[in-house]
Amino acid sequence: MREKRRGPPSSQPFSASPLSVDSGLQVGLSSAQVSGVLFYASFLGCRGTEGNVSADYQGIRPKHVKDLITLMILMVIIFLVLLFWENELDEEAMAATLEQLHVDYPQSDIPIRYCNHMIIQRVIKEPNNTCKKEHFFIHERPRNINSVCSSPRRVTCQNHAPSLCFLSEIKFKMTVCKLIEGTRYPACNYHVFATEGFIVVTCDDMGPAKIQRYTE
C-alpha cells in the first residue's frame, strides 16, 4: 500500500478560533467595563466632593445668620438700656427738694398711718416747726410731672406771683394728708385721703420749680 505523501503546510491564513475571538472580545469588554466603572466612580466622587462642599457651605451660612441675629439682639438690648438710662437721667433733673416734698413713686407700702410715717420721714413741716395743716404726695413718675411745664393750660399762681402757673392736662393719683391733731412737729397726726387731681406748678428753665397746689 502506497503511503500517501504529505504536502506542504497549507498557505491559507490562520483564522482565529471562536474561542480565541470570544476570549479577545471578552477581555476587551471587561476592560471597557472596568474603564466605565472607574469613570463613573470618579464622576460620583466629584459629585460627592461638590456635595460635601455645598453641604459645608450650607452648614456655614446658618451659623453666620445665627451670629448676625445674636448681634442684632445684643444691639437692641444696648439701645433699650441707653434709652432707659436717658429717661432716668431726665427724672433726676427734677429738683431734689420738689421730689422729696411731693413725689412718692411707686407708692410706699405703708398699710397704716401712711401720712404720719411719710411726714416724719420726709421732714414735712412749716418754717417755724409747726405741723402743716395739709400736704399731699403724688404717686406718679417724675417725668410725667416734668411734662406739666409744657401744658397749654395756664392759671394764676398763689401769693399773687407775677408769672402764670401751669395746670396739668390729666389727673394724677395722690394721697392727701389733713392735720387732725397736733401743733408742734413731729407730734402731728394726719388723716389719710386718697384721690386724683390736677396739679398746679411753677416752672423754670430746669422744669418744675414748685408744686403750688392740687385741684379736683
Q: How many C-beta atoms surround the C-beta of residue 21 within 10 A?
A: 11
Point out which residues pair with 208 in neighbouring strands: 203
Any domain includes 115: yes
Query: What's the mean per-residue pLDDT of the chain?
Result: 76
Q: Are 176 and 193 in contact (CB under 8 A)?
A: yes
Residues 55 and 86 in one domain: yes
More confident residue, 86 or 190: 190
7 membership: H or E segment, kind and range: none
Q: How many C-beta atoms surround the C-beta of residue 152 within 10 A?
A: 7
What integer pLDDT is reported at residue 18 of this predicted model?
Answer: 41
What integer pLDDT is reported at residue 63 of this predicted model?
Answer: 63
> Mean pLDDT, to the nearest integer, of 96-104?
86
Q: How many domains does the chain have?
A: 2
Residues 82 and 125 in one domain: no
More confident residue, 202 or 58: 202
What integer pLDDT is reported at residue 22 of this predicted model?
Answer: 40
**Residue 82 scores a pLDDT above 70:** yes
Most confident residue range from 22-26, 63-67, 93-97, 154-158: 154-158
89-107: burial string, b at 16+ Cβ within 10 Å, e else: eebeebeeebbebbbbbeb
List Cα–Cα distances, 161 to 155, 180, 212, in angstroms.
Answer: 11, 30, 11
Residues 102 and 84 in one domain: no
Residues 36 and 71 in one domain: yes
For residue range 4-18, list pLDDT tens digits in order: 455 454 444 444 444
Q: Which three cell numbers stand for residue 13?
A: 491564513
C-alpha span between 92 and 103 (Å, rounded): 12
Domain that holds residue 178: 95-215
For residue range 149-194, list pLDDT tens digits in order: 999 999 988 876 667 899 999 999 999 999 999 999 999 999 999 9
Instruction: State the DSSP code for 2.
Output: P
Any domain includes 137: yes
Q: What is the DSSP string of 100-160?
A: HHHB-SSPP---S-HHHHHHHHTT---TTSBPPSEEEEE-S-HHHHHGGGG-S-EEEPGGG
What integer pLDDT is reported at residue 36 of this predicted model?
Answer: 52
